[in-house]
Structure 1
Amino acid sequence: MRILITGASGFVGRALCTALADSAHKVVACARSKLFQEVAKHEYILVPVVDGHTDWQMYLAEMDVVVHLAARVHVMRESLANPLDAYRETNVEGTLNLARQAALAGVKRFVFVSSIKVNGEQTVSEQPFTANDIPAPEDAYGISKFEAEQGLLALARETGMEVVIIRPPLVYGSGVKGNFASMMKLVTSGVPLPLGAIHNQRSLVAIDNLVSLIMTCIDHPAAANQVFLVSDGEDLSTSDLLRRLAKAAGVSSRLIPIPAGVLNTGLTMLGKRMVAQRLLGSLQVDISKTQEMLEWTPPVTVDEGLRRCFVAEG
């Protein structure tokens, strides 16, 4: 089977290419970074821009599957006056342009890694998101991913090309960046954190578990034209996550039990409402559909996934 992977130099893309390295599949890795070519173990293609005008024809010949990871990712400190236009250029127009060309080239399946933000920003009353919920994206990134999903499903109906959509929550693992990397640094620094009394519930997914599901969706017959949620299958409070991160790193957790209400008030007064939501709010996903339809179980436990965060890449 011949597989085209976009966004191959990204966090998920690198892990997926590594996992496929010893497979019998023929993998073509597409990335924007020239540096990626130095470590690529597959045929490599430099694609500087992914938008509505990118010409993919020469790369799609004889491809069986496309795994589309390339995206304009969520930006915490957005500076653009109209960020939705920028997200749409890559995440909607770029995705659908690639998918249309893939269908014309005879690609059998298009696997799209979307985001749990399509479902919404948080869950309440211990009611996890499901794959069948009515989407309720709130920010520009989530809206763009939802619009791409809708366009892909319409294209599947029009052309017969199979589409598989995967919506992951926060992905972590060795080499992770952003907020999770910052959390790891705080835990290992030994700085006392006022997060010892948080009783929320959040779903995460270890990079190895996400890669396992993507590989399953590449050729599983039941995956065609379905939406799947993914997680580790165990939800954690922020306090529990920090304690287990510390254990994985081999250091002592230093958590001060400040009530969540006090923290929420303080962070909101400081203009950090979104920070409060991520630290104190819940976001749970129900992966029962994924497990039952695909006969899939996350191969890596939470504690093993956290341990691997502290193992250097290479």
Structure 2
Amino acid sequence: MSDTPMPVGANGQTAAPPRSVFITGANGFIGRALMARYQALGAEVRGMDLHADPARNVVAGDLTQPSRWADHAKGCELFINTAAVVSLAAPWKLYREVSVRGVRNCIDAAVAGGAQRFVQLSSIAALGWDYATQADETSDVVIGTQYRYGVAKGASEHVVLAAHAAGEIDCTIIRPGDVYGPGSRAWLSEPLKMAKSGALVLPDGGKGIFTPVFIDDLLDGIMLASGLEQGRGQIFILSGGEPLSCMEFFSNHWRWAGRQGQPHTLPLGIATLVTRLLWGFNRLLQRPNEITPDAMYMFARKADVSIAKAQRLLGYQPKVSIAEGLQRSEDWLRGTGQID
């Protein structure tokens, strides 16, 4: 093993580094960062994603066809599923195939491969957007026909918790906040493109609550939850502990794009109506587009989320302030030529 240490919780909590790790979604923002972190510890790390990357020991596959990649996971003691339908506009059939049946396929592959712990990356989206007070792991998950990404994440959690309750494998569920930092497409590159085009619009004056967590802090939390006994059978919300308004967060993108003032806003009702019409038009033209009513609901969240459980059981303590995280993000955007 490497001399690179495992993260240590605020009360001294730490776990032995795993000898081997398998990560789905290994080419994604979180999956790639996890692979690098575990490799730095000296662990054998393998992965799967839609496109192979032999140099990083990543094979091609998807959650719906485990026969293509399950053998690659054999012998790994820790199995982490970060793969998902990362969309607010996908059809229900795809969410069901990936977030329910696909997650079950991952559990089967983990059990067959001899893994000791299965970790599912969910999202605070599972809580919906209309919680009026600080939400925690005991809060309701969202159900219904709207906010489909969150509904799908809640359904994936059910599959994992059922496997844990049945004694198939020890499971842990992570609900990250809004994960950002160098390499983030969802919360850095894509909003920046929208700001440059003038299409970045926030509902209700941008008063919705944004719950950022810097990628390095998220990795610390995942590794603590994945390795500690206290993580068995548990759900953990991991955010940065510094909520701010969507207007405060995305005004940075507006500034990076060279624009004066702040992003445009619309009342939530009008914003959802406009995006519903745009979404329907784009679907008619078979043109992929993430400008949906669900995106407006996501930017209209009414409250923060609590990380008290992760702090108590894992000693989780975010180290990167929002100011530092945004500066690192800006440096990365400049370094990659996305801003001047």
Q: TM class, shorter-chain normalised?
A: 0.7 to 0.9
Per the alignment, residue 136 of structure 2 pairs with 130
Report the alpha carbon displacement of residue 290 of structure 1 after superposing the two structures with TM: 0.8
- The Cα of 1:265 is off from its aligned counterpart by 5.4
CA deviation after TM superposition for structure 1 residue 67, in Å: 0.7
Is the CA contact 1:123–1:282 (under 8 Å) kept in the aligned structure 2? yes
Q: Which residue does 1:296 correspond to in 2?
A: 316
Is 2:44 the partner of 1:67?
Answer: no
The offset of 1:210, in angstroms, is 1.6
Q: CA deviation at 1:66?
A: 0.2
2:275 equivalent to 1:255: no
Classify 1:307/1:115 alpha carbon distance in 2 versus 1 (closer, same or farther; 3 Å): same
1:9 match: 27
Aligned residues of 1:117 and 1:137 also touching (Cα < 8 A):
no
Q: Is the 8 A contact 1:109 1:162 kept in 2?
A: yes
- How large is the Cα RMSD of the aligned pairs? 3.0
Distance 1:15 1:60, change over 3 A: closer
State whether residues 141 and 151 of structure 2, in contact with CA within 8 Å, keep that contact through their aligned partners in structure 1.
no
Are residues 213 and 251 of structure 1, via their aligned partners in 2, closer, same or farther at CA, if it must alter by over 3 Å? farther
Residue correspondence of structure 1 range 102-121 to structure 2 within 5 A: 102-121=110-129
State the Cα distance separating 1:90 from its structure 2 match: 1.5
TM-score (norm 2): 0.76
Residues 88 and 148 in structure 2, CA contact (< 8 A), matched pair in contact too: no
Q: What SS class does the counterpart of residue 90 from structure 1 fall into?
A: helix
Query: Following the alignment from structure 1 to structure 2, what is the Cα–Cα distance between the partners of residues 194 and 103?
Result: 45
> In the alignment, which of 28, 31, 37 is matched to residue 46 of structure 2?
28
Residue 329 of structure 2 is matched in structure 1 by: 309
Partner Cα separation in structure 2 for residue 212 and residue 74 of structure 1: 25
Aligned-partner SS, 1:270: helix
Residue 177 of structure 1 aligns with which residue?
185
Give TM-score scaled by structure 1 length.
Answer: 0.81
Structure 1 alignment gaps of length 5 or more:
none
Per the TM alignment, residue 180 of structure 1 is displaced from its structure 2 partner at its CA by 4.3
Q: Is this contact kept in 1: 2:127–2:139, CA < 8 A? A: yes
| Residue 304 of structure 2 is aligned to residue 284 of structure 1 | yes
Cα shift readout 1:123-147 (whole Å, capped 9, x = no counterpart):
22xx022111122244333233222
Displacement, 1:232? Answer: 0.7
How many residues in Structure 1 have an aligned counterpart in Structure 2? 296
1:170 Cα deviation (Å)?
2.3
Alpha carbons of structure 1 residues 254 and 8: separation in structure 2 relative to 1, 3 Å: same
Check the 8 A contact 1:190/1:254 in 2, yes or no. no
- Assess if the C-alpha contact under 8 Å between 1:3 and 1:63 holds in 2: yes
Moved more, 55-64 or 89-98: 55-64
- Alignment partner, residue 98 of structure 2: 90
User: For residues 309 and 229 of structure 1, do their structure 2 counterparts lie closer, same or farther at Cα, with a shift above 3 Å needed?
Assistant: same
The answer to whether residue 157 in structure 2 is matched with residue 149 in structure 1 is yes
Give 1:45 deviation, angstroms: 3.4
Matched residue SS, 2:141: coil
**Residue type of the partner of 1:19?**
R
Residue 57 of structure 1 deviates from its aligned partner by 4.5
SS in 2 for 1:148: helix
Instruction: Give the deviation of 1:55 after TM superposition.
Output: 5.4
Shift of 1:16: 1.4
Distance change in 2, residues 1:37/1:197 (3 Å): same
* Deviation of 1:268 (Å): 4.5
In the alignment, residue 229 of structure 1 is paired with which amino acid? I
Deviation at 1:244, TM superposition (A): 5.3
Amino acid at match of 2:21: I
Gap runs ≥5 in structure 2: 1-18, 277-292
Report if aligned partners of 2:61, 2:69 keep a CA contact under 8 Å in 1: no
Q: Please give the alpha-carbon distance, in whole angstroms, between the structure 2 residues aligned to 1:275 and 1:87.
A: 17
